[in-house]
Chain A
Amino acid sequence: MTMNNFPKLSLSILAAVVTLAACGKKEEPAAPAATAETAAVQACGKVTVANMNWQSAEVLAHIDKIILSSGYGCEVELVPGDTMPTLTAMMEKGKPDVAPEAWVNAVREPLDAAVKAGRLHYAAEALTDGGIEGWWIPKYLADAHPEIKTIDDALMQPKLFPAPEVKDKGGIYNCPAGWNCQLTTGAAFKAWGAADKGFVLVNTGSAAGLDGSIAKAYERQQGWLGYYWAPTSILGKYEMVKLDAGVPVDKAGFEGCNTKVDCENPVKSDWPKAVVFTVITDSFKKTGGPAVGYLETRSWRNETVNQLLAWMSDNQATGEDGAKYFLKSQPEIWATWVSPEVAEKVKASL
């Protein structure tokens, strides 16, 4: 760059910066008018909300973000999360502030201890029906083989559920690492003696792997047996039937051993209804203001969630799109979670 070009270059950069700043400035005059909102921001402040990596949690996190920011004036930041890491971080470090859809079965004991110590609090029961976990088979298989009703029945026929890469063995698809279902499914595999019955546990590696295996089997009408849970869009799109465990829920054994990493003698037990709570930290409860009241009321039924997830799946929608669609199309459900003024603010922002 010669000395001749330098002034021209710097002038053009300056011009560009000034133009952009002028465009930005046009937004500012709106701010001073919203003094009521600034008061609300001071009441609520910054909130970090865990955005866990499955669809129902993602859409709920986005719904919370929209309602908390436009309705209560909080400054919401979504942070990626997962059951085990997020809840551990909340217990140890107090961050993030809110876990909208925490499936607490796996960490019940330490979580209860943290709640007792006052570091964390259970807010609303996010899924009123709770999560339904278990081992599922495709509906076409259940129709073709009406004798398969329980897990024991399925384990008697390894040929119907071929493992992807092991010849002559059945495969039970497990869920990825980090999910507490990986531990419980492994424990159930051991408790039911599936290895002796000619099965192997197939590690799918990731949510995408697990979903992909179901999609592939369903499109080709092949057999599939493995862990899944409701409410999800995969179960909305591909109709599956949950296998009856054949035994009742053994809560003590399940929580005492099956959910732990080094469980030597897992028990045969049905999956207890997975209680799903919103968990908030003590610091947020103290500083959140009326927003905390929202988080303590907000809960929805599996039916609603399944429908929303099916819509999202059909429309290739992200969590954000799904949240906006839900807020626009079903005000009768979410208006009950908030006061009328907040409802008006949220509706206006959509």
Chain B
Amino acid sequence: MSTLVEFPTMGAEQLSSLRRTIDGSFRTFSREYGETLERLFDPLREFLIFSERLLTQSPWPVVIGVIALIAWLASRSLKITVGTVLTLLAIGYFGMWIDTMKTVSMIFVCTVVALAVGLPIGIAMSRWDKLQRAINPALDVMQTMPSFVYLIPVVMLLGIGRVAGMIAVVVYAIPPVIRFTNLGIRLVSKDLLEAADAFGASVWQKMFKVQLPLALPTIMAGINQTIMLSLAMVVIASMIGVQGLGQPVLKAIANQYFTMGMFNGLAIVGIAIIFDRVSQTYGKRLQKHLEVVHG
């Protein structure tokens, strides 16, 4: 009866030697190729550092002005622009300006990378079923594998800091945009595609003039999710040494300073809402021009 209660396991010796072999081979790999891999990421690291310096060292009125301008140009909504300015002023007044700028810079670069990599993959997936079957399991792993599991090898190869943090954020945040883009394009009505064919549209014309514009609402939802998930990873990224709002939150958790944690958490929420409202309103404006009704 005991074999039914306690699961028969691989012997402890075998399990331990299996672990040691895998660890050992990873260590050898890291010793051989670690340096090269690190050099490969150097341009990205330089760009991350440059963008952070740009935001933290510029005078704050300039930064708020530029962000408000971008918000206005993207959304053309007074409410959103005023809201953005007020949120940033509140964040600065409560002493979280530098941390917030570091987070904004990091998350902005990560989101751009996620979108630049994710949108093409999503489009490709929508065209080829085999690709979709191959990539879906990878997306499942990326969304559910606990971040620290793949961060341990990443830290060993690339060291703690921005690049490892960016890898953590991008791996977690990219699946929504891929899935939603794939879904949105596939959901475009077959009748419309037939009509486009009837008018003699080429493959690329169909993609860019019919499928993408019609899939835009779903794609915008995917972009929104990617932004939200990037910001959600801020605290995990801070656990591998990334500076920004995550570190005070971590400090607050570890030392049990409730208010500090709440303030920094609210700053993260504020940034998320700004990013989200601006991008969603921009998305709606894009669709207005194309006369697509957004739900």
Contact = CB atoms under 8 A, between A and B. Distances in A.
Of A88, A208, A317, most B-chain CB atoms within 10 Å: A208
16 contacts: A23-B4, A85-B254, A164-B161, A165-B45, A177-B247, A177-B250, A177-B254, A178-B251, A205-B241, A205-B250, A208-B148, A208-B240, A209-B160, A212-B240, A219-B34, A316-B16
B104 to A, nearest CB: 18
Contacts of B290: none
B35 A164 contact: no
A316 to B, nearest CB: 4
Interface string A206-249: 10110011011001100000000000000000000000000000
Interface stretch (B19-27, B194-202, B278-286): B19-27
B254 A212 contact: no
A82 B254 CA distance: 8
A88 B35 CA distance: 44
B247 A205 contact: yes
A293 interface: no
Given A88-B256, A178-B254, A220-B34, A208 B16 contact: no
Given A176-B250, A178-B254, A219 B30 contact: yes
A203 B34 CA distance: 22
A212 B239 contact: no
Interface in B155-184: 155-157, 159-162
Nearest to A215: B156
B49 interface: yes
Interface residues of B, number: 38
Contact of B238 (A23, A205, A315, A317): A205
Contact of B34 (A164, A205, A216, A315): A216
B157 A216 contact: yes
Given A84-B255, A219-B30, 17 more contacts: A165-B162, A176-B239, A177-B247, A202-B241, A203-B241, A203-B243, A205-B246, A206-B250, A208-B148, A208-B152, A209-B155, A212-B152, A212-B155, A212-B159, A212-B160, A213-B159, A315-B20
Of A26, A208, A209, most B-chain CB atoms within 10 Å: A209
Nearest to B246: A205
B241 A204 contact: yes
Of B35, B162, B255, B256, most A-chain CB atoms within 10 Å: B255
